[in-house]
């Protein structure tokens, strides 16, 4: 099957409380740090520094991030490529993502 974008909220529908709730979890905040490079990443726990977590657990966290509007997921063959919705988040909540990423470095 060809590449396909998984369902995600429109930029205008991203809700701050859902974004904060999604990021108020240590695993998902760690995923944010990983995605901070703006590149696409697969879902494999190995390669994400999440070897201690079951793949289904990681899958669950990725769904939460996507449904909150934080990430975008593209399906391609066996793989799914996840990336931060930097532009969308910055359009909806200017400066918030930058402040979060800077805060992560502490």
The Cα angle at residue 89 between residues 53 and 71, in degrees rounded to 5: 30
Is residue 64 within the footprint of DNA (CB under 7 A)? Answer: yes
Which distant-in-sequence residues (6+ apart) come within 8 Å of 77 by Cβ? none
The rounded Cα 71 to chain-centroid distance in angstroms is 4
Is residue 100 within the footprint of a second copy (CB under 8 A)? Answer: yes
Range 40-79, binding a second copy (CB under 8 A): none
> Which of 7, 38, 77, 94 is close enough to bind a second copy by CB under 8 A?
94
Q: Which stretch binds DNA (CB under 7 A): 29-37, 58-66, 85-93, 97-105?
A: 58-66
Q: Which residue number, 6 or 90, has a Cβ lying nearer to DNA?
A: 6
What strands, in cross-sheet order, belong to the sheet with 71-76? Answer: 4-5, 71-76, 79-84
Cβ contact 5:73 at 8 Å: yes
Interface residues with DNA (CB under 7 A) are 1, 21, 25, 27, 42-44, 52-64, 73, 76-80
Interface residues with a second copy (CB under 8 A) are 16-18, 20-26, 29, 92-96, 98-100, 102-104, 106
């Amino acid at each position: 099957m060809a590449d396909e974008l998984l369902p995600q909220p429109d930029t205008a529908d991203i809700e701050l409380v859902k974004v904060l709730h999604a990021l108020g979890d240590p695993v998902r905040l760690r995923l944010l740090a990983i995605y901070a490079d703006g590149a696409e990443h697969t879902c494999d726990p190995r390669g994400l520094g999440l070897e201690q977590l079951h793949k289904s657990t990681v899958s669950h966290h990725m769904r939460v991030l996507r449904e909150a509007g934080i990430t975008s997921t593209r399906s391609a063959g066996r793989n799914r490529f996840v990336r931060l919705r930097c532009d969308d988040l910055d359009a909806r909540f200017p400066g918030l993502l930058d402040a979060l990423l800077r805060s992560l470095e502490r």
